C-alpha cells in the first residue's frame, strides 16, 4: 500500500501543473496579443503621421517634435502604456499637420 504513494504525489503535482497551465497560458497569450495590437496601432499612427508630414507644405515644428518623440518611444518597444502614448503623440502630430494644410 505504501508503494502507491509516489503515484499519488506525482499525480497531484501533474494535476496542479496542468490546471495552472490551462488557466494561465491563455491569459498570458491574450496579454501578448493585446500588446502586439497596441504596437500595431501605434506604428500605423506613426506611418499616417509620416504620410501627412511628407504631404505638408508648411512645416510645423511642434508636430515634428511630437512625431520624433513618438518614434523614440516606439523604437524602445515598451509595454502597453508606451504603445498608447506613442500612438496618441503620432495622432496629435498628424492632426497638427492636417490642420496646417487643410486650406
Partner 1 sequence: MPSSSRRPRVHTLVEWLRWLVLAAAVAMLVVFLVAQGQRADVRYGQSPATGTIAGGSAGEQTGVTLPSVQQLTAMVAASPVVRLPGSIAMWDTDQVARAIGGADVHILVTPPGLSQQQREEVDSVDNATVRVIGTEVSGDVYKVASGNLADWRATLGRADVTSGLVLLINKVAHGSSVTHAGSTDASGTWRDPTAAELDPVAADLRSTGFHAAKGATLSAKPTKAGAQAFGTGGALYVALPAPPPGAPAPDYGPALGRLFPDTPLVVMYGDWIEYQGPHAADFAELAAASFYARFGDRLSGYAYSQDQVLGAYLATVTDIRYAGLFDRPLPYRPADPLRIALPALPWLFAACVLAFLALSVRSLLRPAKASRSLSRRTGGDDARLAGLTALAVEVSGLTGARTDPALARAIVALRAAREALDERLPRRRVSDLLDEADRELDLVGRRVEFPGYRPAEYLRGRLA
Give the footprint of partner 1 on this chain (CB under 8 A): 1, 4, 7-8, 11-12, 14-15, 18-19, 21-22, 25-26, 29-30, 33-34, 36-38, 40-41, 43-44, 47-48, 51-52, 54-55
**Nearest residue to 94 (alpha-carbon basis) of 57, 64, 58:** 64
Closer to partner 1 by Cβ: residue 40 or 68: 40
Closest distance to partner 1 from the beta carbon of 99 (Å): 13
**In terms of Cα–Cα distance, which of 15, 77, 1 is closest to 40?**
77
Whose CA is closest to 67, among 40, 39, 41, 96? 96
Q: Least distance (Å) from partner 1 to the CB of residue 3?
A: 9
Residue number with CB closer to partner 1 (50 or 69): 50
CA atoms within 13 A on the CB side of 58: 9
Amino acid at each position: 500500500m505504501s508503494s502507491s504513494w509516489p503515484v499519488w504525489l506525482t499525480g497531484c503535482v501533474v494535476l496542479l501543473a496542468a490546471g495552472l497551465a490551462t488557466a494561465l497560458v491563455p491569459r498570458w497569450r491574450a496579454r501578448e496579443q493585446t500588446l502586439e495590437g497596441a504596437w500595431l496601432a501605434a506604428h500605423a499612427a506613426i506611418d499616417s503621421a509620416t504620410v501627412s508630414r511628407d504631404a505638408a507644405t508648411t512645416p510645423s515644428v511642434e508636430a515634428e517634435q511630437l512625431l520624433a518623440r513618438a518614434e523614440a518611444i516606439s523604437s524602445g518597444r515598451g509595454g502597453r502604456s508606451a504603445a498608447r502614448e506613442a500612438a496618441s503623440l503620432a495622432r496629435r502630430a498628424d492632426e497638427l499637420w492636417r490642420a496646417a494644410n487643410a486650406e
